[in-house]
Chain A
Amino acid sequence: MKQQNLIREIFSGNAVIPIFAVLASLVFGGVLIAFANEEVQEASGYFFSRPGDTISAVLNSVFGAYDALFRGSIFNYQASSASGMIKPLTETLAFATPITLAGLGLAVSFRSGLFNIGAQGQIIFGAMFAAYVGLSFELPFLIHMPMAVLAGLLGGALWGGLVGLLKATTGANEVVVTIMFNYVALLLLTYLLKTPVFQAPNQVNPISSPVAESSRLPGILGDGFRLHFGLVIMLTMVVVVWWLMHRSSIGFQFRALGYNPSAARTAGINIPLTYILVMAVSGGLAGMAGASQVLGADRQLTVGISATFGFDAITVALLGRNNPFGVLAAGILFGGLRSGAVLMQANQGVPVDIVLVVQSTIVLFIAAPPLVRSLFRLPKPKAVQA
């Protein structure tokens, strides 16, 4: 119960907090960029004789880095062709697709009071199921592609639902179980990629053959771009999740469970069953992220299929305040950070890790106040009370 209160508190609070958290993290990232910059270090050596040098070096490094981040993620005004100019934005959206899908899944579970940390494992399971269907059959596109996507959904739903089942029957803590399940899923994937189940024939590396053409998510803007049909699925799911949580009786029961489990129980809501359902829906959405990677982005199964999308998704759900549209916005932001970081490193020599630091500090800024309060058992700031 205490854990649930903490979760609830992290996700409540003022709606502008996420925006300020992002801004504050970018400022913090800027400080780090300046410190790590060689010219700044050099100029600060004679700071007292010519302070202007240091200041201009700082400004150069920070603005240079963030300019590259912008060009790498949104609009490259320096590109020579129109397609080159919009390419960064399509890259951003391509990255945003799996992050948002998994983020939607986590938002569903967080709203329902379950702290699902297992998107990473659920993505992997979704990817494996989708890859299996994509590799094993030859079917017409209109059947094969949807079937492979649904297989991904099913894989994630099973892997997530299993956690719900364990919680419902044994009372196991979902945080612990999902974290362990992440390892189980990754190790299973690594193992299966070395067996004929997935490993491509005549391969020594743990890589599968490309999935069948008919199972692939088609590209959207043509061959020059990585953007694929997964984006459409993702946008559809944003609306579906919104409908599910706010316009369906299932979502109503999910939210009732999340806000007040004992009132939900008293009102006749089947708590164990709801645990399983929540985790299955949550895992299913993460599973679709996995399917989207296998069938759209990578078109084959690899050990790194889930990248760190499952963990980014936690931050994205947090940043989006568990609101599907908020999650979409946060997902695009994270996609942008990811695609922009590449150019930032190539152009300005700023390590990609800076982006990781920015992402992590966002979490800290949002989650820390209630977390610190809970750790040290400090009282909540007093609101209006009678």
Chain B
Amino acid sequence: MRLELKGITKKFGDFTANDQIDLVAESGEIHCLLGENGAGKSTLMNVLYGLYQADGGEIVLDGKPTKFAGPGEAMQAGIGMVHQHFMLIPVFTVAENVILGHEPTKGLGFLDVEKARELVREISSRFGFDIDPDAVVGELPVGVQQRVEIIKALISDAQVLIFDEPTAVLTPQETDELMQIMRQLRDEGKAIVFITHKLREVKEVADKITVIRLGKVVGQAKPSDTTEQLASMMVGREVDLSVHKEQAKLGDASFQVQNLTAFSPQGNKVLDDVSFEVQRGEIFVIAGVQGNGQTELAESILGIQDKVSGSIKLEGKELLGKSVKKVLDSGVGFVPEDRTEDGLVADFTIAENLMLDRSDRPPFAKGIQLQLKTLYEFAEEKLKSYDIRARSIFSKASQLSGGNQQKVVLARELSRDLKLLIASQPTRGLDVGSIEFVHEQIVEARDSGIPVVIIATELDEATQLGDRVAVMYKGKIVGIVSPETPREELGKLMAGISA
């Protein structure tokens, strides 16, 4: 099968998300669509999958121009999609999920679940998936859930498979396995479109690479191109992917976490006897696959985690049990994992967001009277020094790109007198340029002589940024290692196999 996208254009109001994009996917080929967040990759795939209607251009399938009114028609034409966020029903079994949408029936319309089971078993043995058709999807690990999505696509006889950022939720091992599955699918004659912004994966698995930037195709690349070449194509300028930092100048261990144990509201243990120390002038990275207790650890330090015991000491003073305000006041800078949810008030202006945690004290308030003049001067200065790209300090946070939003959060947190910086996935969803900037700021904070704790899910970030790397698995720290530790070993730790 040969799928061709010709001159696809998609506009949202004045904004052109896709501008004259051409793309060809052929049987037996893995075609990578490489681009930064917001480059228009997902929009293009949603056009192809019938979720959006293109404003221009056409979709040609085996020489015939086609139009999809919705995902149903796209599926029927042989296009399958493995979504970034899985479209599975957690309380259904694997077999039930897989047949959802085109349920095989027998007799008077009774569901033929047995047939579904068989289909799952057949496909799963062909690819060595080892999936029990009767397992409830919600109880399966994320990597396995993704395979269920793949089976789902295969069962409706998809010839073109689209993977939309499939590795975001996977461990390094699971990622390697997924690559293997993609190759196997390719060898079976499927056409694969692999959407990603991760250069390592592209180089490993791609047959062809199309790079898009700001909604336009900027060119084709070869898997043999260097990472730097790919990155500069993607970003549109020379980029330096390595983190520059001097040897750490370590001081005393001013931040100590001891025997921290916490439970979720449902009573599950989310932190299991976590202990570590961080020295002044050190970046301590907590790595691990998302959902292994990192969020709870950060929230425990900030003081918003319930049911937590143990001890968290900063410069000898206990933080646990204190209110968020007291914790912040004792010099903790906090960059939350979800900046739009926890870091910013989207409807507030940049200026207002910059005083979010200090609105009740000088210099921003005298008594309860806000000092707007001071605030605006402060905001203007931060806008310049952090290079926040916005029309003015009165632009709303919701109008900023992810990178600029993160700059606002960093500007706010780093402008306080800090004794500790905690940043949860500080570069999540950011473009390469912003990542560079955020990394610089974090290293600068370290060099100012405070302990820095970074929670990272990307292994590359963990090893490049960290002076030491702790790996969390199921609420426990399973190992604290040097960032020079080989990838495979870190991967094993992340999967819970301690060294």
Contact = CB atoms under 8 A, between A and B. Distances in A.
A267 B358 CA distance: 8
Interface stretch (B190-198, B250-258, B359-367): B359-367
> Which of A250, A253, A256, A382 has the most chain B CB within a 10 Å cutoff?
A256
> Which of B17, B325, B342 has the most chain A CB within a 10 Å cutoff?
B342
A9 to B, nearest CB: 12
B15 A256 contact: no
A265 B345 contact: no
Contacts of A248: 365, 368-370
B87 interface: no
A260 B304 contact: no
Contact of A259 (B324, B346, B368): B346
> Which of B323, B334, B336, B357 has the most chain A CB within a 10 Å cutoff?
B357
Interface string A252-274: 11011001101111111110000
A256 B369 contact: no
B13 A249 contact: no
B353 to A, nearest CB: 9
B324 to A, nearest CB: 4
B378 interface: no
B345 A266 contact: no
Interface string A190-227: 00000000000000000000000000000000000000
A50 interface: no
A267 B347 CA distance: 15
Given A249-B359, A252-B359, A265-B304, A270 B368 contact: no
A249 B356 contact: no
Nearest to A268: B325
B396 to A, nearest CB: 10
A385 B40 CA distance: 11
B345 to A, nearest CB: 4
Contacts of B360: 249, 253
B17 A386 contact: yes
B111 interface: no
Contacts of A82: none
> Which of A247, A250, A267, A269 has the most chain B CB within a 10 Å cutoff?
A267
Given A259-B345, A263-B344, A263-B345, A247 B12 contact: no
Nearest to A12: B347
B246 interface: no
Nearest to A260: B345
Given A253-B360, A263-B345, A266-B302, A385 B12 contact: yes
B445 interface: no
A384 B345 contact: no
Contacts of B327: 268
B324 A249 contact: no
A247 B304 contact: no
Contact of B359 (A253, A265, A386): A253
Contacts, number: 86
Interface residues of A, number: 24
A266 B17 contact: no
A175 to B, nearest CB: 22
A267 B357 contact: yes
Given A252-B370, A268-B323, A386 B38 contact: yes
Nearest to B353: A263
A266 B370 contact: no
Range of interface residues on chain B? 35 or more
A384 B328 contact: no
B372 interface: yes
Nearest to A244: B368
Contact of B346 (A250, A260, A267, A386): A260
B352 interface: yes
A155 B329 CA distance: 35
A283 to B, nearest CB: 19
Contacts of B304: 265-266
B372 A264 contact: no
Contacts of A265: 304, 324, 342
A382 B365 CA distance: 39
Contacts of A252: 352, 355, 359, 370
Contacts of A270: 323, 325
Contacts of A264: 345, 356
B386 interface: no
Contacts of A253: 359-360
B341 A262 contact: yes
B372 A247 contact: yes
A260 B38 contact: no
Nearest to B14: A384
B449 interface: no
B356 A263 contact: yes
B345 A256 contact: yes
B39 to A, nearest CB: 9
A262 B359 contact: no
Interface in A218-252: 247-250, 252
Interface string B318-349: 00000111011100001010000111111110
Given A267-B356, A384-B12, A386-B17, A260 B370 contact: no
A386 B323 CA distance: 38
Nearest to A250: B368
A149 B345 CA distance: 37
Nearest to B368: A248
Nearest to A246: B370
B328 A263 contact: no
B141 to A, nearest CB: 28
Contact of A386 (B15, B344, B369, B370): B15
- List the 3 closest pairs (A to B, CB-CB), nearest first: A268-B325, A267-B357, A384-B13
Given A247-B370, A247-B372, A253-B360, 7 more contacts: A249-B364, A250-B368, A252-B352, A256-B348, A266-B304, A266-B324, A386-B17
27 contacts: A247-B370, A248-B365, A249-B360, A249-B365, A249-B368, A253-B359, A255-B345, A259-B347, A263-B342, A263-B344, A263-B345, A263-B356, A264-B356, A265-B342, A266-B324, A266-B342, A267-B357, A268-B324, A268-B325, A268-B327, A268-B329, A270-B323, A382-B12, A384-B15, A385-B15, A386-B12, A386-B43
